[in-house]
Amino acid sequence: MFINGKFEDDFSGEWIKVLNPSTEEVNCLMPDGSVEDTRRAIDAAEKAQAAWEKTPAVERGRYLTRIAEGIRKREKELTDIIVREGGKTQGLANVEVLFTADYMDYMAGWARRYEGEIIQSDRPKESIFLFKKPIGVTTGILPWNFPFFLIARKMAPALVTGNTIVIKPSQLTPENAYVFAQIVEEVGLPAGVFNLVNGRGSVVGQELAANPKVGMVSLTGSVAAGQQTMAAAAPNITKVSLELGGKAPAIVLADADLDLAVKSIIASRVINTGQVCNCAERVYVDKKVKDRFMERLIAGMRQVKVGNPCEVADLDMGPLIEEKALKSIEAKVEKAISQGAKLLCGGHRIGNRGYFFEPTVLDEATQKMDIIQEETFGPVLPIVEYTDLDEAIAWANDCEYGLTSSIYTQNLNLAFKMMRALKFGETYINRENFEAMQGFHAGWRKSGIGGADGKHGLEEYLQTHVVYIETQD
């Protein structure tokens, strides 16, 4: 753990085994942090925050730039770690490392650009100023699916705006965060500004949300984890920012470029073995083109290359993250078939070592099936046929989630009609589901509260202070 600018290597508590999902072998041991460890980190962040806030924003940004340089210097090492502990393909892991460095640079660039306001007064001798100020101590609870990038997504906007932070990595993927903390130490970030506490969500995560010294807690995870975080934060009225689950619909119209649609939907389904909250999770395809679409889709899914990314570089998909996830996917496919869906390809575990699962297509799905309503988080793609576009839009919106959605059409009028009607935080048209750092990644309904990235994500870490000054003659 990294607390108040120092690594704590004399940990005397319990240790958690971290497994390689491709081989089921032990990667490393992670300290099982306590409430006391977490409180020490929060106290360190609180102590450091006042001086950090007084540091000019441009200087705060320079630290982020140095961290980005440190990440790039350790690109290969970090890529290998992400592959080993998360089962991510080498190409995607490398993208995550470099994107994280770019994200640090991007957020550093906001140091001179975020602003307050001067507001017009109704009084002739008064000026009204709106200042944007840091919240104070912030905390970040991370998932395992993009573990390295999510450190930057929470830490970079927090630090550049004058906040300090305590991060808790997932207990499934902690090693990359350890290297990140090493880079933080190397660049000389002031002690206490960034802290890292390993442990379980029920212990460390709970304290990061419930501690009265915390001004904001940001979590990326499941709906259940988000509900627990909100409940823990409620007694102190602590601000929460939550990115939770998704059940992204992809709507394929009759005039769509089918080759583009198939390529994009497959890419959005098998990325990180389907374990991405903004993945395409269900497909609505016009009956007029369904047969041609399905022929291309099944052929494409069967060509997806699956294997151990620690051994093979050129893969499309690795394993699921853990045995629990594998059993969940198996059960969901079995349930879909029992409810009437037709298995067209895949549907089974691959081998008996590692948590590999075949890319799977389920046809003849209906709106009320669990596979359409519940988040899958695996390489399973259910298909629903439609004949009326308005009905397809209604089906797409008929979901407790509201993170991302996608449309495939060459008709600009229909694209705009659907943009206005879809109730999701993001919509992708004629492309795969993958957001830009300068956008705003935010969900509706049970997909979350608040958001990340771009100007609006930066402002999640700011609060307003309005000052009224009335002068005298």
pLDDT tens digits, 34-75:
999 999 999 999 999 999 999 999 999 999 999 999 999 999
CA distance 390 to 394: 6
Q: What is the structure's pLDDT at 299? A: 95
- Cα 223 versus chain centre, distance: 13
- Cα 253 versus chain centre, distance: 29
Q: Which two tokens stand for residue 436?
A: 């830009």
CB-count exposure of residue 11 (10 Å: 0-12, 13-18, 19+): middle
The catalytic position among 277, 281, 399, 432 is: 277
Is 399 known to be catalytic? Answer: no
pLDDT tens-digit series, residues 379-411: 999 999 999 999 999 999 999 999 999 999 999
Phi, psi dihedral angles at 23 (to 5 degrees) = -120, -15
Q: 10 Å Cβ neighbour count for 418? A: 23
Q: What is the structure's pLDDT at 257? A: 96
Q: Which two tokens stand for residue 102?
A: 């770019």
316-354 in b/e burial notation, b at 16+ Cβ within 10 A?
A: bbbbbbbeebbeebeebbeebeeeebebbbbbeeeeeeb
- Cα 244 versus chain centre, distance: 8
Q: What is the structure's pLDDT at 326? A: 96
Q: Are 252 and 389 in contact (CB under 8 A)?
A: no
The catalytic position among 243, 375, 459, 460 is: 243
Q: Which of 343, 325, 344 is nearest to 335 (CA)?
A: 343
Q: Are 355 and 324 in contact (CB under 8 A)?
A: no
Q: 10 Å Cβ neighbour count for 159? A: 29
Q: Which of 330, 312, 318, 243 is nearest to 275 (CA)?
A: 318
Q: What is the structure's pLDDT at 434? A: 86
Q: Which of 86, 22, 26, 405 is nearest to 271 (CA)?
A: 86
Q: What is the structure's pLDDT at 433? A: 84
Q: At what angle do helices 290-302 and 258-270 cross, to 10 degrees?
A: 40
Q: What is the structure's pLDDT at 317? A: 95
CA distance 344 to 298: 7
pLDDT in tens, the chain (473 residues): 999 999 987 777 889 999 999 999 999 999 999 999 999 999 999 999 999 999 999 999 999 999 999 999 999 999 999 999 999 999 999 999 999 999 999 999 999 999 999 999 999 999 999 999 999 999 999 999 999 999 999 999 999 999 999 999 999 999 999 999 999 999 999 999 999 999 999 999 999 999 999 999 999 999 999 999 999 999 999 999 999 989 999 999 999 999 999 999 999 999 999 999 888 999 999 999 999 999 999 999 999 999 999 999 999 999 999 999 999 999 999 999 999 999 999 999 999 999 999 999 999 999 999 999 999 999 999 999 999 999 999 999 999 999 999 999 999 999 999 999 999 999 999 988 888 788 888 888 999 999 998 999 999 999 999 999 999 87
Phi, psi dihedral angles at 430 (to 5 degrees) = 60, 40
Is 279 known to be catalytic? Answer: no
